[in-house]
Amino acid sequence: MAPQRLQIAVAGLGRMGWRHAINILNKTPRADLVAAFSPDAKELERGRKELEPYGVTLYDDYDKMLQHPGLQAVVISTATSVHAEEAIKAMNKNLHVLCEKPLSTSVKVCQEVVDVAASKPHLKVMCGFSRRFDDSYQDVAKYIKEGKIGRPTIIRSQTCDKNDPSGFFVAYAAWSGGVFVDMSIHDIDLTLWYFGSNVVPKSISASGVVAVQGGLKQHNDYDNAVGIVEFWSGQIAYYYASRMMPHGQEDVTEVIGTEGKLSVNLNPQKNLVPHDYWGRFEGGFVKESNEFTAACLDSTPLPLELQGAVKAVQIGVWLQEALVSEKQITFDQQGRRTQRASL
């Protein structure tokens, strides 16, 4: 008897969605890519050439794709502004969901997704924090759990994109939520993984500059930003986000503990210097696809809990507010703000 296979559709065939589609098609042995959706004519044309020959049905209507015969799961890689709506629609059709980060740029809407998922415990719903599936970052989590560096006290983490002079980042900034919500969300998620998801911010501050992507100013965004989050637990997170690295993607993390330090990619070997984001994290995305598929087919727990995706966005939103307002945000020990919002 042939093993059960997961029937998956991909929503969005842009940069990230296309990569998910190819991973499911070629590198996820227990899954079949049966359908894909895009509202973009050029993306659909590419799909007709490279996906249809493998039995993938293409749709220009998301709701119609959800009705594809035998569909069991959806990977959502569309614009952030519709992530939540599409995730909820899929869950209401009794479909498992892997949604690219963030669930939304709105904390309230993120929570709505989590609440719907909680009402349907038979479904597997996961936010795609890809670094959770990268071998190096998984090793850091393992060593921290084993007490190899004592108590983790400082995390210094960065997400730095290769410079793209095409104007993509400027157009993307119109709905991305800002550099901290879009980029540093990965570093924030790592903080919640390594420090513990129950950490409570004490203060948040940020600064930024527009150095090469002048058009970002119209969206109140920056191509370089630094943020600092101090926690009541006596721990500090330092984040750096950049969209202007000329040499390629440079994502680096240090976790400094009371008895040692762990680092990822601080001293890259020649074959670990990537050209772009995909060059660095392709392996993590493949593992993510396979672990999500296994959880759906075998009814096993997902490797990360969904509520953390809400807290990561909340911290990202506060960092973005501190960046734009140029004001520090402070909190009491219960996590309540001690001043009114500046935006």
What is residue 2's predicted lDDT score, i.e. its pLDDT?
43
What is residue 103's predicted lDDT score, i.e. its pLDDT?
97
Strand order in the sheet with 125-128: 57-59, 31-37, 6-11, 73-76, 96-100, 125-128
Q: Domains along the chain?
A: 6-127 (3.40.50.720), 131-338 (3.30.360.10)
Helix (H) or strand (E) holding 35, with range, is strand 31-37
CA distance 298 to 295: 5
**DSSP letters for 168-217:** HHHHHTTTS--HHHHTTHHHHHHHHHHH-TT--EEEEEEEEE-SS-GGGG
Phi, psi of 206 (to 5 degrees): -160, 155
335 touches 315 (CB < 8 A) = no
What is residue 1's predicted lDDT score, i.e. its pLDDT?
38
Phi, psi of 7 (to 5 degrees): -90, 110
What is residue 176's predicted lDDT score, i.e. its pLDDT?
86
Which 8-state DSSP code applies to residue 144? H
What is residue 76's predicted lDDT score, i.e. its pLDDT?
98
159 touches 251 (CB < 8 A) = yes
Sequence letter at residue 193: W
pTM: 0.92
What is residue 270's predicted lDDT score, i.e. its pLDDT?
54
Q: How does pLDDT run along the chain (343 residues), one tens digit per residue? A: 345 899 999 999 998 999 999 999 999 999 999 999 999 999 999 999 999 999 999 999 999 999 999 999 999 999 999 999 999 999 999 999 999 999 999 999 999 999 999 999 999 999 999 999 999 999 999 999 999 999 999 999 999 998 988 988 898 888 888 999 999 999 999 999 999 999 999 999 999 999 999 999 999 999 999 999 999 999 999 999 999 998 888 899 999 999 999 999 886 555 555 556 667 788 899 999 999 999 999 999 999 999 999 999 999 999 999 999 999 999 999 999 997 766 6
CA distance 248 to 320: 24
3-class state of residue 72 by DSSP: coil
241 touches 224 (CB < 8 A) = yes
